[in-house]
Amino acid sequence: MIVGAGIAGLTAARELSSRGRRVIVVDKGRGVGGRIATRRIDGAVFDHGAQFVTARSSEFQGEVERWVQAGVAALWSHGFADGLVGDGSLLTRAADGSDTPHMPARDGHPRYRGVDGMTSIAKHLARGLDVRLSTAVASVTRDANGFEVIDATGSTTAASAVILTPPAPQSIALLDAGAVAVDPDARTTLSAIGYEPCIAVLAFVDDGSAAGAAAGGSIGSGLLPEPGALRRPAPQVEWIADNFAKGSSPHGPALTIHCSPSFSAEHYQSDDATIVDRIASIIRGIGLPALRDAQVKRWRYSAPVAPLSIGAWTDGLPSGLVIAGDAFMGARVEGAFLSGLAAARAVGR
């Protein structure tokens, strides 16, 4: 059994299924993907978790190419401008400290997007798998035959092996709740893996005409520098992208704004209206139009602060139990994929 239908869990499930293992994937969410997430608002499409995938390993590059061939991923760009706030304009700061407007940075690495939002990729991976959604696991226990996975309703599923892919401290908590013996050093290490929060604001912008929204009106795809996204336009904003310019939303501008880790931590408990007000005024300050119809999404466990590079964790755990996810192979979709593969291999041994 695999807990978590994010990229790590789905990758592990596909790998094990391809080797003839019977696999059940459970996730507490209503859809697959975990931190790959897409929200639809008034016909527009907003990616509010991962924005794109990059492939640096040949193993993941091969997988991404299969996604492109399957028509679920497409090339978006080779880099993004790193913007700094000037006097009301969007600027790119070069290595020598000089500022130029609207120049995309290119580092040679291709960035891919999901064709119909990032969840296209997760839905593709989940195809043909036994995925049970809206199932929150409350504990994992051990018995003579292997493990029992108990969900929040008390329903129990027996499993010969279990791969846990929630954030590492949550995975440890599931084992503690079921009194599974974990080596103290392993518990200490895994419980201490910290995660940064991220507040995402999803918003349309005011195009100055009352009819603009209803008509799906767009004030053009040139709202942000090519290819429609900007890193760090202000200290409080880590990322801003227009899902319309990106090619994922049929109309827009449809903005995804990711707040910086420090702003997100400071405002995590603030109400939505306060967050939107603060971000809206920052966005106005860099010369973008006013936000309207903004929604807020909070990611409590956005990214592991100090991810390991060990594949998947088995040390100090009972045989047949593996903890995986982006905390073990890099805080990106690629890391989650590689950790999922490593987990499947560990179970298969």
Distance CA 291, CA 220 (A): 15
* Contact string 120-159 vs ligand FAD (x = CB under 6 A): ----------------xx----------------------
* Contact string 193-212 vs ligand FAD (x = CB under 6 A): -----x-x------------
Please provide the size of the chain in residues: 349
Q: Which two tokens stand for residue 240?
A: 């801003």
Closest alpha carbon to 83 in 229, 250, 245: 229
Distance CA 253, CA 229 (A): 11
Q: Which two tokens stand for residue 168?
A: 């590492």
Strands 44-47, 156-159: pairing kind: unpaired
Q: Total number of residues binding ligand FAD (CB under 6 A)?
A: 38
217 binds ligand FAD (CB under 6 A): no
Nearer to ligand FAD, 32 or 283 (CB): 32
Closest distance of CB 246 from ligand FAD, Å: 11
Distance CA 68, CA 161 (A): 32
Q: Which two tokens stand for residue 277?
A: 């007000």
Closest distance of CB 18 from ligand FAD, Å: 18
Which of 299, 311, 338, 342 is close enough to bind ligand FAD by CB under 6 A?
Answer: 299
308 binds ligand FAD (CB under 6 A): no
Which of 114, 117, 166, 227 is close enough to bind ligand FAD by CB under 6 A?
Answer: 166
Which of 1, 2, 8, 229 is close enough to bind ligand FAD by CB under 6 A?
Answer: 8
Nearer to ligand FAD, 136 or 192 (CB): 136
Q: How many CB atoms lie within 10 A of CB 309?
A: 10
Nearer to ligand FAD, 65 or 220 (CB): 65
34 binds ligand FAD (CB under 6 A): yes
What are residue 294's phi and psi, to 5 degrees?
A: -80, 140
- Cis? peptide before 250, omega within 30° of 0: no
53 binds ligand FAD (CB under 6 A): yes
Sheet arrangement for strand 53-54: 53-54, 111-114, 73-77
Touching ligand FAD, residues 70-109 (CB under 6 A): none
Identity at 6, one-letter amino acid code: G
Binding site for ligand FAD (CB under 6 A): 3-9, 26-29, 34-36, 49-53, 136-137, 165-166, 170, 198, 200, 258, 299, 302-303, 325-326, 331-336
